[in-house]
A and B are shown apart, each in its own frame.
Chain A
Amino acid sequence: MAFSLAASLSRQSKFALSRHSSRILPMTTILQPPPRCFSSTVVSPSTENDDNNNNNFDNFYDVTIVGGGVVGSSLAHLINRRMPSLKVAVLESRECAPSQPSIDRVPHPRSYALSPASLQVLGDSVVSRLPLGHYDSMQVWQAKSPSVLTFTARDLDADPSKATYLGACCEDQPIVATLWEELMKSPSTERITNARLKSLQTGHPSALAMAELEDGTEIQTPVMIGADGGNSWVRKSSGISKIGGDYEQSALTFTVSLRDSMTRRAFQRYLDDGGPMALLPTFSSNHAVVVWSAIPEVLARWKDAPEEDFVAYLNECLQEGPQRVPSLLEGTVGNSSGSGILTNLVYGTERVLDTLHYGLAMASQHPDPTFQVPPRIEGVVSPKFTFPLSCYQSTSYTKGRVALVGDAAHTVHPMAGQGLNLGLGDVATLVSCLEKAHRAGMDLSSFLHEYDSNRHRSVSISLGGIHTLQRMFRAQNVPVQHIKTFGMNMIQNVGPLRRQLAVAAAHGIAL
């Protein structure tokens, strides 16, 4: 509808120019304040502009971002704050700008655990308006193991006065809506909804990247960003392939009401059948979001189970404290030759190292490792969402003048809560590479290859770590159980190491 209206407009006036804001309006709808849609500001055609010179900068943007989801709009917002003179276009396929959720809602289960570094990327003007559920510590424990890991804000920063919290949870919708509101205030940012992209040229040092919309508009840009999610059209159109695989697990998320309120602590427990179950704070103190990963059969069993049974099961899982490890002799280790022991030792050492490296994707050392029982769940108060877990990563994050960020570049298991932290880490790195070129007055694509090499490496490590951790916690046999415990205890007790790991985790990168 809006699309065809816009298309017919574009025939009359190829590019409508609003004099006041000097905005160029391609035929797609330009947004007025949300939640109104389709309110196209149409201005008279430009006459002065039509000399027949082919060097036309009417549809030129310094940075063009395809996808205005949480990562794409964070990127636009950060560019705006750091380089306000740049003209930025955000092309979003959704029909209207995201709107704020109602105030008296139950927290939505699609929530992110944001590290302080991620909150910094979003910026104070956005964060101050977000409904956040802060937490100062995160408690990680597992079935059949006596150890408990507790990470605190102090693990992030050696200076205790600076370390105020470990992280904060927030729903997807208010983050995106607030970011879009901020973008609307910026005169140099064009937010284009209902964008239908047809073709793309990645460009090279001597040719701009180009995106063609279905109505024929050709957008020219020195830097084109693919922020269009896991099924990225930009990635595919640029001919960048992805590698990785699906876990045999899915995640189930929903909101629960609590009998007692949350006490600024997030909880994550590895269940006996492998999957981690997390209880995360929300802006409402007597609600929490549960993110539970497990094999699809298990989730299917519970998805439609009677609520009473389900709540009872959840409480059973989360209320159970640390346990004794089953005896080693019952297991399969060390029952044959010396070389078997050696193998196990090598294997064990490897696992411990893995744990040391990645176990902490979630947290850190604290003088108070005492177990705290999570608040009791009273009921499930939202629909349950299931989504498959996958671990894909693009083989390269850049091609020509195209760069990928967020889920377009990599999808991860949300167990470690790193999905968005990694995406916002991309944003921070990419913006510094753009800034380096911008400060020197250079072609903005000059340092994109640095984004690729910096980011591709650190995300690979993170993904590898999450993958390993995932496999490890799913292992059923006893020796691995021991090794896990050993690893976790080591992490708990080796201070500096924990701190380093926590810092890495908080910044969305592994070591």
Chain B
Amino acid sequence: MVQSIVSRGRPCQRPFRRPIVSFATLGDNNKNWYNNQRSSYCRYNTATLSSFYSSSSFSTANASAYSSSSSVSPLEVNKFSNMSQSWWDPQQNPLISMNAIRMEYIQQQMIQFKKEQEDMEQTNTGEDNSNDRDDSNTTSSFGTVSTHSLPLNGFKALDVGCGGGLLSESLARLGAHVTAIDPSMELVQQAQQHARLHPVTSTNIMYRGGCTVEQLAQEAKENSFETNEESNNHLFDIICLLEVIEHVTDVESILQATESLLKPNTGRLFISTLNRTVASHLVAIVGAEYVFRYLPPGTHNWDQFQSPEELHHTMTNLSNNNTTTTTMLRPLHTSGMVMTALPPIWNWKLDLHNTGINWIGTYQRTRKQ
């Protein structure tokens, strides 16, 4: 297996160590992607992701999975694939400026979480439940700086609906080992190309195009069944569903799949979307799409917007209707995201009290009461 060939978690002596494993070695293993990636995220630095994905067996698997998935609307996928050209242009993609505060929020929450964990560890020194975090100083050691100073160091993150890779790159540069999936092949190809522009993003992100979170959850389930494994190592510390649920047809399905991939208790799920208010209709649809044309008309459908309460309600329903699981999603924190300046300088800030248009929330997977 791959593990035997590559050296695991070897501290990086020099910046930007190049992958050593050849494409041929990976080809034999890529069918069981999940199994490979779960054994050690350190391996990211040793596998060239592009060659990983160009292997034919992989892309066929993706194509079939995509057609069978339930929550993704093909129309939506096309819509975003068409935007792929402008994805990385800060003047054209409003998500770029919004990303700055999404990341501020995620870091705030994770730093607070780390602090709580440390406090807990101090009070009850007996058990160490953070042992599944890989704190080795690997690929992201950039220049002379150790990854330990990075706020998301050692977290395993999943970016669902990664698009052009905006959020995935942010998570990776801040220290996380990222798995990034999107139903659109074109966008993911673009994301992979862009990730090659930086030493950290070119090694610390595992991209998968044509992949839905349901598919990923299914693979994980089959895998843990096969190996009969109890540990949480294959689950994620951070899962991001940002600006995604307003574009999917079946929110419950995506939530269910996401939940199953999140580490119980210690994992954090971030969801951001648009609220279903008059204001959001005016701003996000009438204003952004039709009046100012910041977004292509038809980017958003107001009926798919949700308030934090509506989403919470969906989660509760999900938990009540699904008797097979013992866990549920629970909201921990919500904040509004407010635009403070108009283009050409998009500017955003977090505002706890104004969730009327854009909002972002933190969720935890806990045992059902």
| Residues of chain A whose beta carbon lies under 8 Å from any beta carbon of chain B | 17, 19, 21-22, 46, 48-49, 51, 53, 55-58, 60, 84-87, 187-188, 205-208, 222, 436-437, 439-443, 445-450, 453-454
Contacts and interface: CB of A to CB of B under 8 A. Distances in A.
A205 B103 CA distance: 20
Given A22-B143, A449-B90, 15 more contacts: A51-B19, A51-B20, A55-B202, A57-B202, A58-B16, A205-B90, A206-B190, A207-B197, A222-B198, A440-B101, A441-B169, A442-B99, A442-B103, A446-B96, A450-B345
A21 B143 CA distance: 9
A-B residue pairs, 8 tightest by C-beta: A441-B173, A205-B88, A441-B170, A440-B103, A57-B16, A85-B145, A441-B174, A440-B100
B212 to A, nearest CB: 25
B88 A22 contact: no
Contact of B199 (A60, A206, A447, A453): A60
B62 to A, nearest CB: 23
A57 B199 CA distance: 7
Nearest to A436: B100
A313 B16 CA distance: 65
A104 B126 CA distance: 67
20 contacts: A21-B144, A51-B18, A56-B18, A57-B16, A60-B16, A85-B142, A87-B143, A206-B190, A436-B100, A437-B100, A439-B103, A440-B170, A441-B170, A441-B171, A442-B100, A442-B103, A442-B170, A446-B96, A449-B90, A454-B345
A455 to B, nearest CB: 12
Q: Tell me which of A17, A22, A222, A436 has the highest count of chain B C-beta atoms within 10 A of its own C-beta.
A: A22
A22 B15 contact: yes
B28 interface: no
Contacts of B202: 55, 57
B345 A449 contact: yes
Contacts of B100: 436-437, 439-440, 442, 446-447
Contact of B197 (A22, A48, A86, A208): A208
Given A85-B143, A205-B88, A446-B96, A439 B104 contact: yes
B193 A443 contact: no
Interface residues of B, number: 43
B89 interface: yes
Interface string B181-193: 0000000001001
A184 to B, nearest CB: 15
A86 B199 CA distance: 12
B276 interface: no
B48 A53 contact: yes
Interface string B1-35: 00000000000011111111000000000000000
A202 to B, nearest CB: 14
Contacts of B172: 441
Nearest to A84: B145
A436 B348 CA distance: 12
Nearest to B51: A53
Nearest to A207: B197
A468 B241 CA distance: 55
Nearest to B101: A440
B196 interface: yes
Q: Tell me which of A87, A205, A206, A436 has the highest count of chain B C-beta atoms within 10 A of its own C-beta.
A: A205
A437 B90 CA distance: 11
B277 interface: no
A205 B142 CA distance: 22
A439 B99 CA distance: 11
Contacts of A46: 14
B310 to A, nearest CB: 28
B91 interface: yes
B294 to A, nearest CB: 14
A53 B16 CA distance: 12
B2 to A, nearest CB: 17
Contacts of B312: none
A188 B16 contact: no
Nearest to B50: A55
Contacts of A48: 14, 17
Nearest to B102: A440
Contacts of B194: 205-206, 443
Given A437-B100, A439-B100, A443-B197, A53 B18 contact: yes
A18 B254 CA distance: 50
B109 to A, nearest CB: 14
A442 B13 CA distance: 25
Contacts of B101: 440
B144 A188 contact: yes
A187 B143 CA distance: 9
B103 A188 contact: no
B15 A441 contact: no
Q: Tell me which of A53, A58, A441 has the highest count of chain B C-beta atoms within 10 A of its own C-beta.
A: A441
Contacts of A208: 197
B226 to A, nearest CB: 34
Contacts of A60: 16, 199
B345 A453 contact: yes
A442 B143 contact: no
A442 B90 CA distance: 11
B173 A206 contact: no
Nearest to A17: B14
Contacts of A207: 197
Given A85-B145, A188-B143, A449 B16 contact: no
A449 B91 CA distance: 8
Nearest to B166: A442
Interface in B68-102: 88-91, 96-97, 99-102
Nearest to A54: B196
Contacts of A57: 15-16, 199, 202
A441 B345 CA distance: 19
B49 to A, nearest CB: 11
A183 to B, nearest CB: 15
Contacts of B170: 440-442
Given A22-B143, A442-B170, A85 B149 contact: yes
Contacts of A17: 14
Given A441-B171, A446-B90, A188 B145 contact: yes
Contact of B144 (A56, A187, A440): A187
Contacts of A437: 100
A493 B213 CA distance: 69
Contact of A206 (B103, B193, B198): B193
B86 to A, nearest CB: 9
Contact of A53 (B19, B89, B199): B19
Contacts of A449: 90-91, 344-345
A441 B89 CA distance: 16
Contacts of B88: 205-206, 443
A57 B19 CA distance: 12
A62 to B, nearest CB: 8
A453 B14 contact: no
A389 B38 CA distance: 65
Nearest to B93: A205
Contacts of B142: 85, 87
Contacts of B91: 449
A443 B169 contact: yes
Contacts of A19: 13-14
Contacts of B102: 440
